[in-house]
Amino acid sequence: MDLTLRLNARLQPIHQFQFEDVIHTLLTKKGIGETSGGGVAQDPEGETTYCEIEIHLDDTKPNNIIQLLEILSKTGIPKGSTLWSADPEFNIEVGTLEGLAYYFNNTELPYSIYETCDVNYALEQMEKAIEGIGKLYSYWKGRAYTALYFYGHSFFEMKQKIEAFNATYPLCQKSRIEQIA
């Protein structure tokens, strides 16, 4: 049975591949199937909008579907993701994690802020703030914005923890936070 996992996740291709590799390893370890490729969809500016992973199950025994769903649950799938096949009746929503996109403004701050502040320092502080609640899955650098994509159990809690740092670090001026899952 051939399935497609559409991840409601904003991952760079390298991070999508790492995700695919983890699922592949778990499927082959259980002897029920494998992944067979995938990719990312991007908007016109190059920001990822979703990812897909192609999955082949050796057969359609209900137990294999259950094992696949357990693998996906352990892997950390964002809400709004789906597992589907060519059979229009096979469409399962998967995912429990909520997503937070943090967008740094790349163009509207004084030049001195870009010279003296470090996005990596900001990332470290944000990761410390949400430790145990969520974690960074990927990032993206566009012309106008640099985005960090965090996924965790609660968008609200991640946002609340990040906002304390956000209010004090100059590079965070004119940033925005969006819920993405």
pLDDT of residue 173: 97
Domain 2-94 has CATH 3.30.70: yes
Pair 51, 7: CB distance under 8 Å: yes
pLDDT of residue 161: 97
Provide the pairing of β-strand 98-105 with 134-141: unpaired
Pair 150, 137: CB distance under 8 Å: yes
pTM for this predicted structure: 0.94
Pair 54, 85: CB distance under 8 Å: no
Which tens digit of pLDDT belongs to each residue from 48-101? 999 999 999 998 788 999 999 999 999 999 999 999 998 888 899 999 999 999
pLDDT of residue 62: 85
pLDDT of residue 88: 83
Ranges under pLDDT 70 in the chain: none
Round to whole Å and give the CA distance between 79 and 60: 25
Measure CA 61 to chain center.
Answer: 29
**In the chain, ranges of CATH 3.30.70.360 domains:** 98-179
pLDDT of residue 5: 98
pLDDT of residue 168: 96
pLDDT of residue 77: 95
Q: For 98-179, give the CATH class.
A: alpha beta
Q: Around Cβ 12, how many Cβ atoms within 10 Å?
A: 18
